[in-house]
């Protein structure tokens, strides 16, 4: 299954050190979260194609990016 970010773009910001992410409610593997302005993740496997929300959680709070990631067949 392939995946891609939607037209809305990738999350960016500050204070991302120590952040976690979920894709459609499934935890992503964090490849690097030791930078303040970048979060590198390995997207989790899902069983079906479709668009999912991405949720980023930091020490400062949680942001939900609706329909931000698309899994394709």
CB distance 5 to 68 below 8 Å: yes
Average pLDDT, rounded, for the chain: 79
d(CA 73, CA 54): 19
Backbone angles phi, psi at 52, to 5 degrees: -130, 160
pTM of the predicted protein model: 0.79
Region 48-69: mean pLDDT is: 90
Indicate whether 18 pLDDT > 60.
yes
Torsion (CA) 25, 4, 59, 63 in degrees, nearest 10: -70
**The total number of structural domains that make up the chain:** 1
Question: What integer pLDDT is reported at residue 12 of this predicted model?
Answer: 60
């Amino acid at each position: 299954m392939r995946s891609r970010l939607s037209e809305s773009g990738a999350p960016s910001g500050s204070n991302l050190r120590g952040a976690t992410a979920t894709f459609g409610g499934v935890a992503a593997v964090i490849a690097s979260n030791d930078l303040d302005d970048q979060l590198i993740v390995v997207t989790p496997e899902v069983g079906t194609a479709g668009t999912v929300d991405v949720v980023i959680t930091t020490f400062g709070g949680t942001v939900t990016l609706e329909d931000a990631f698309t899994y394709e067949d």
